[in-house]
Structure 1
């Protein structure tokens, strides 16, 4: 830690985004850790309860922002289905991409049987992949495929929820990637994303256009509903998951570390990067229809960093900063904290260097420039997953089981 002089006004930001200006007495000195390229503020020693409570602040804010993005997507989808055109389709696609930026960061809150992925959690309806396109709609060579082209299947929230993953994990009927496929269609381009025509949603221009509009409307509504449930689970001052989490002490810390460690190694480095590197197959990339996979990886890496540093930057630029795992570990083992911070920063930097589109970056020999850059992300993520195990031990958590379930 070292002291630095900040020649500017300092604002402490509450969870609701209100800023309270402090006196200039606080402008002169902050205790900061700069090794990872960010600014860590530690006004006083922190404990497990403080870290858990601030984590809950970040989770609620991140899910709230994601819900706002999904609601904007829903509005764009409503405009598109009411009047299909190239412009309204482009607006819906733009809204989907924007909402994914915040959702990707929330994946650091998974893997410990929290509200998103306990036995009743909505994760399977939200972000399941890879998706068999023919399960939903017609595809090249199969004009009559999919739920949309089967009039015997009612397009309702209940039916699509029941059909999601029925008969196989690639039988995805709902969630981000179902919406993505409907908006972009199959990707046959080596240089860009899918290019579904808006006319697929126009009566008289394509078979079952009305059912296609209904499907898109329903799955988008399902997405909003599921995200709403997550916001409620983490709402402050309520009898919900958050209330119990904040009182969990060391077990809350264990859950936090299981979340970031499992996302780092098993899910992101393993399922989302190394599987695609090994197969060199477009079907193994996360957002294969929109070519947004490179941004998915950045958002996931950033979400891990958010949890470690106790920091989250909201879409409007508001910064939430508070008691963190890093602070807690640093008080016990400064070397472990510093090493972890260095590797976490490296993974974010490496993720941001992935060339787009991802499906082209993974092609070729291991010496290909794109593959080298993608592999660098996996390497950094695996290093930091080991650091999280060491960090857990530093604060008295002797056994940290990192898991990952392919979604």
Structure 2
């Protein structure tokens, strides 16, 4: 082989070796992660608002012409809209726009609720705001009455709408079954006030969601602009949202309490029997935040710098562990059988209770590994308890 051929062969081999090696990855910065996190937050709140508006249109059609069919359509729309709200709960628990001192979270998703605060219940035909003609049914009035005199005195939000659509749940095998005639004049007392209540409370919830979304809008002087510039303190907030939702809220308040009491009133969506989907939606929200990936209402995927990638730069094993934890939590959550209120009943070894307990245990492990991930980024003593 001539010297030239040897040189050419060496050059060719070197080029093959070079193409086999991946190009050096660009370093993920705190700023890039916070910017993308904000993009995901804004996109998911925007989808939640769009879905809630679609629900509002179907509810308006039901109120204009109550029937069994239009009520069923309104319930279906509530369930569909709920799917887009649930993942946004991963942006809570750090005094952001949704739940700071002025935040509307308590008007949007407060629970459990004393349904007799809103409308009649079994044995109390004249109970509730709806059946008290002295109380004006306006946006401002319902806002002022929400949680007045007690945390369960809930007058607004998802679960108020849910109760108006389904009514109390007395069916072990399914959800509540409020009759459409409750909304027809002459068929039920105060049907006009019930229609007005439904219309006002639905509009108020959308307005509250819109106000939160505005604080995450890009290129504005709002909460988002401060958050993106917040460096490690904002990373701590994003991780706190994940940690508290994982352990204190979902595993603790929403699941362990219900397991302990075995009381239907302690399940999250007790009128519609949608609690199993509530659990899944919350875990999906955690996954969106951790992986930096969000699939929108339009089917398009938004992907970018993530908390996982940031942690992986320092400790790939911990990053992969948290991803595996979330996948396991999601898998087990999907194994819970509806209705949730029947899963929590029985002895410790009852199949339903074992399925729910498996999710709780997975979330507890996930919470501990999130603390380790936070420590990798220099975030000490990450809270996973409710603030």
TM-score range, shorter chain: over 0.9
1:365 shift after superposition: 0.9
Classify the secondary structure of the residue corresponding to 1:182. helix
Which residue of structure 2 lines up, in the alignment, with residue 378 of structure 1? Answer: 360
Distance 1:229 1:180, change over 3 A: same
1:148 paired with 2:130, answer: yes
Structure 1: unaligned runs, 5 residues or longer? 1-27, 32-41
Which residue of structure 1 lines up, in the alignment, with residue 308 of structure 2? Answer: 326
1:228 paired with 2:171, answer: no
Alpha-carbon distance in 1 for matches of 2:115, 2:377: 46
1:281 paired with 2:244, answer: no
Which residue of structure 2 lines up, in the alignment, with residue 127 of structure 1? Answer: 109
Aligned length: 368
Moved more, 145-154 or 85-94: 85-94
* Length-normalised TM-score, structure 2: 0.93
1:30 shift after superposition: 12
Equivalent residue for 1:402, pick from 365, 380, 384: 384
Alpha-carbon distance in 1 for matches of 2:342, 2:271: 13
Alpha-carbon distance in 2 for matches of 1:152, 1:129: 26
Which residue of structure 2 lines up, in the alignment, with residue 256 of structure 1? Answer: 238
1:402 shift after superposition: 2.9
Alpha-carbon distance in 1 for matches of 2:199, 2:82: 18
Are the aligned partners of 1:258 and 1:403 in contact in 2 as well (CA < 8 Å)? no
Distance 1:54 1:30, change over 3 A: farther
What is the Cα-based RMSD across aligned positions, in Å? 1.5
Which residue of structure 1 lines up, in the alignment, with residue 224 of structure 2? Answer: 242
1:43 shift after superposition: 5.5
1:397 shift after superposition: 1.2
Which residue of structure 2 lines up, in the alignment, with residue 347 of structure 1? Answer: 329
Alpha-carbon distance in 2 for matches of 1:96, 1:139: 21
Classify the secondary structure of the residue corresponding to 1:147. coil
Which residue of structure 1 lines up, in the alignment, with residue 52 of structure 2? Answer: 70
1:335 shift after superposition: 1.7
Which residue of structure 2 lines up, in the alignment, with residue 104 of structure 1? Answer: 86
Which residue of structure 1 lines up, in the alignment, with residue 120 of structure 2? Answer: 138
Alignment of 1:5-404 (within 5 A): 44-404=26-386
Runs of 4+ in 1 over 6 A off after TM superposition: 28-31
Alpha-carbon distance in 1 for matches of 2:103, 2:385: 17
1:221 shift after superposition: 0.5
Structure with higher helix content:
2
1:292 shift after superposition: 0.2
- 1:84-124: CA deviation from partner (whole Å, max 9, x where unpaired): 11111111111110111111100000000000000000000
Alpha-carbon distance in 1 for matches of 2:259, 2:126: 33
Alpha-carbon distance in 1 for matches of 2:365, 2:21: 30
Structure (1 or 2) with the larger CA radius of gyration = 2
Alpha-carbon distance in 2 for matches of 1:30, 1:264: 38
Structure 2: unaligned runs, 5 residues or longer? 1-18
Distance 1:287 1:30, change over 3 A: farther
- 1:24-76: CA deviation from partner (whole Å, max 9, x where unpaired): xxxx9998xxxxxxxxxx96321100000000000000000000011111111
Classify the secondary structure of the residue corresponding to 2:294. strand
1:155 shift after superposition: 0.2
Alpha-carbon distance in 1 for matches of 2:342, 2:96: 35
Moved more, 336-345 or 299-308: 336-345
Classify the secondary structure of the residue corresponding to 2:233. helix
Are the aligned partners of 1:111 and 1:403 in contact in 2 as well (CA < 8 Å)? no
Alpha-carbon distance in 2 for matches of 1:29, 1:48: 30
Are the aligned partners of 1:148 and 1:211 in contact in 2 as well (CA < 8 Å)? yes
Alpha-carbon distance in 1 for matches of 2:32, 2:211: 25
- 1:279-307: CA deviation from partner (whole Å, max 9, x where unpaired): 11100000000000000000001101111
Are the aligned partners of 2:185 and 2:191 in contact in 1 as well (CA < 8 Å)? yes
